[in-house]
Amino acid sequence: MGLLQGQGSAPTVPAADAAPGPRVAVTARGLLVERAQAGDRDAFEALLERWLDPSLRAAFVILGNEADARDATQEAFLQAWRDIPRLRDPDRFDAWLNRILVNRCRSLRGNRRRTTVREINLSVLPESAEPAVGDDPPGEGGSLSLDAVEHAFRRLSTPERTILVLHHLQHLPLTDVAAGLGIPVGTAKSRLFAARKALERALEAELR
């Protein structure tokens, strides 16, 4: 999948954003962002290299369909290329891109309104992840079959899937999860707790 397929000219940097406020230091990634903001396509694709596979996996788990995941990721990357001149803080690129991806997944899922639920392969999730909040999911010794987890995960809403994916699949701290969703950290913590509880209830239903 071409990262910027169908895109020709480089974005134009708006005058208001051409001279952001002074920063004490800029990371190497921040410098790449600034080059991309100036229209450097190679710099932008270098930024996306590390995000292509994680973005596809995250979109796939959220949407439950490979074709939709590829569409959402492609659309998110194209939107990022168009909008990167307006990114105020180059060092917040990761959280900013995550937010775009989540919004594209939401939009695509809402527009398609599928009537069938497709199989979600949760083998893309980490085999072990330390929960940020809440207790371990139910089950003897914490051991559950992958099929049970997959079926339970399909019962969750898109927002519940999304926050679990961001925190446990992409290993983002709550501060970055909150930034990606555009919500306060406290709200992200409570939503993550609620999503984990929803997954626990779904697992209990699967194990009955």
CA geometry: angle at 200 spanning 199 and 205, to 5°?
95
Tell me which of 2 and 72 has the higher pLDDT: 72
Closest CA to 88 of 133, 157, 156, 23: 23
Yes or no: say if 79 and 37 are a contact pair by the CB < 8 Å rule: no
Residue 119's pLDDT band (cuts 50, 70, 90)? very low
Measured in whole angstroms, the distance separating CA 113 from the mean position of its chain's CA atoms is 20
Calculate the average pLDDT of the chain.
74
Beta-carbon-side half-sphere exposure of residue 12 (alpha carbons within 13 Å): 3
Q: What is the pLDDT of residue 170?
A: 77
Structural domains of the chain sorted by starting position, each given as residue range(s) with its CATH number in brackets:
16-116 (1.10.1740.10), 119-208 (1.10.10.10)
Residue 20 has what DSSP assignment? P
Mean per-residue pLDDT for 146-172? 80
Q: What is the pLDDT of residue 145?
A: 61
Q: Which of 46-50, 74-78, 112-116, 127-131 has the lowest mean pLDDT?
A: 127-131
How far apart are alpha carbons 174 and 133 in whole angstroms?
Answer: 11
Closest CA to 136 of 188, 208, 196: 196
> Which two structure tokens, joined as six digits, stand for 23?
């920063």
Residue 177's pLDDT band (cuts 50, 70, 90)? confident
pTM of the model: 0.62
Q: Looking at the predicted structure, is the pLDDT value of residue 205 above 60?
A: yes
Mean per-residue pLDDT for 60-85? 90
CA geometry: angle at 92 spanning 23 and 103, to 5°?
150
Residue 85's pLDDT band (cuts 50, 70, 90)? very high
Best-predicted range by mean pLDDT (68-77, 99-108, 177-186):
68-77
Q: Looking at the predicted structure, is the pLDDT value of residue 176 above 80?
A: yes
Q: Looking at the predicted structure, is the pLDDT value of residue 163 above 80?
A: yes
Q: What is the pLDDT of residues 17-66, one digit of tens each?
A: 434 444 445 578 888 899 999 999 999 999 888 888 888 888 888 887 78
Q: What is the pLDDT of residue 187?
A: 93
H or E stretch covering 52? helix 41-63
